Amino acid sequence: MQQDHAPLKKVLGIFFGIAIVVGSTIGVGILRTPGSIAALVPDPMLIMACWLLIGLYILLAASSYAELTVMMPKAGGAYNYIHRAFGHFAGFLFGWFDLLNNAIAPAFFCIVLGEYTADIFPTLVPYETFLALGYLLFFSAVNLPGVRSGSTLQKVSSILKIVLFLILIVGCFVARPGYATPETTQFAFTGTAIIGIFKALQLIMGTYDGWMAVSFFAEEDSHPERQVPRSYLIGAFGVMMIYLLINGAILYAVPIDVIAQSPLAAAEAADVAFGSWGSTLVTAVSVFSIISILNAYVMIPPRILFGLGRDGFAPKQVTYVNTGGTPHVALMAICVFDAILIVLSSFETLFGLATFMMAVVTLFAFASVIALRIKEPGTPRPYRAWGYPFSSGLLVLVTLALIVGFVFGDPFSAKVVVAISVLCYFIYRFLVKKSSTSI
């Protein structure tokens, strides 16, 4: 029976925590981005250095997020930390930024899954939109009865995805490359090359989007003080190792100039490793990657909307929770939103903003660690971030530098983010004025 502010069920454990990090992070992006990155940074060692750098950054980020999440084990993720550290408007703005980032993802992944299905069964090509809608309804229906059903699907799909990635990685390293090792060329750090590195780092950051997924489910964790930090760190380290291995495998099996010209570099590597079976393996990896990440992103946005609604930043109906522990009204609202995007196919530009907006949200989340240490020094912190204050300061500076680099590399996204921020300010002021009490 539904009720206002009904509690979410504390039934999730560390296995789910790791699965949600892996499932929401590792997607088709890691199969596609190596080609774009090789075109921007045509140096294998520098490419690996970029992936390692962002991986270490994500590990430090996970440690900082773990402090905040254990301190405030509430649904909604970064919204809670920014709201508490910087006030109502910051919470409102970045909460909706985070919701937008995550809410458009299911529509995108449903369309991609529909396209893969049509590729496998060509007679279904005219029905790709209906296939995408069908996948959206199916995954929403799986999660509707309760959190346990979605949790089980997440664990199973994440395990299968990792197994398939490992098969691809091992196959590439076992196979003998069919080309002569090229002479090492000197990479020149010109202005254009440095901008290319920042664009490559932006692409890599995009493939890591989802590492903070544990934060959205902290309120449903049975023992957050113990399990949340482990979920963050084990999950982030596992993703980093998979990414380093898959890039190393692709660079080992395929010449970098071929990688730079390929829209799906993993397929080139699979062809070297498995011959005619290569395309089948890459298709299987892609499909299971999408299934795992789609289920994760069907689960995440309702938790953000639930958190916003609980604090008065969204209609109170989105806080209703059914007997199985699912915020079902929020889930259905997100489902309708994504169905509209699928039909209109008008969300691609917004989806392209995700990495930029994620960087802005995480910048303020990292700053929240510092702000709350100053504002609330006596608040219990069952887990503390590694190397504070140096690590938190470094994260803020590095994220700020990345955002500056993104502004030069992707000025359109920067302008859109500024425009959305201004719009949100006027909406916020209207809501404050309309409300009988201050939000």
pLDDT of res. 347? 53
Confidence of residue 177 (pLDDT cuts 50, 70, 90): low
Single pTM value for the model: 0.88
3-state secondary structure of 234: helix
Residue of 265 and 48 predicted with greater confidence: 48
Least confident range from 26-30, 146-150, 293-297, 336-340: namely 26-30
DSSP assignments along 357-407, one per residue? HHHHHHHHHHHHHHHHHHH-TTS--SS--TTTTHHHHHHHHHHHHHHHHHH
pLDDT of res. 324? 92
pLDDT of res. 187? 60
Least confident range from 275-279, 305-309, 328-332: namely 275-279
Residue 390: burial class (beta carbons within 10 Å; 0-12, 13-18, 19+): exposed
Instruction: Compute CA distances 19 → 127, 320, 329, whole Å.
Output: 32, 26, 25
For residue 389, say if its preceding peptide bond is cis, omega within 30 degrees of 0: yes
For residue range 373-430, list pLDDT tens digits in order: 999 999 999 999 999 999 999 999 988 987 887 788 778 888 888 998 999 999 898 8
**pLDDT, mean over the chain:** 88
The tokens describing 104, both together, are 């458009």
How far is the C-alpha of 296 from the C-alpha of 11, rounded, in Å? 17
pLDDT of res. 345? 64
CATH number of 14-177+187-434: 1.20.1740.10
- Dihedral of CA atoms 325, 330, 331, 333 in degrees, nearest 10, equals 160
The tokens describing 279, both together, are 């395309």
How far is the C-alpha of 419 from the C-alpha of 405, rounded, in Å? 19
The tokens describing 57, both together, are 């950054």
Least confident range from 215-224, 275-284, 312-321, 404-413: namely 404-413
Quote the Cα angle for 252-45-55, to 5°. Answer: 95
Kindly tell me if the per-residue pLDDT of 268 is higher than 70. Answer: yes
- Per-domain residue ranges of the chain: 14-177+187-434
Confidence of residue 2 (pLDDT cuts 50, 70, 90): very low
Residue of 314 and 4 predicted with greater confidence: 314
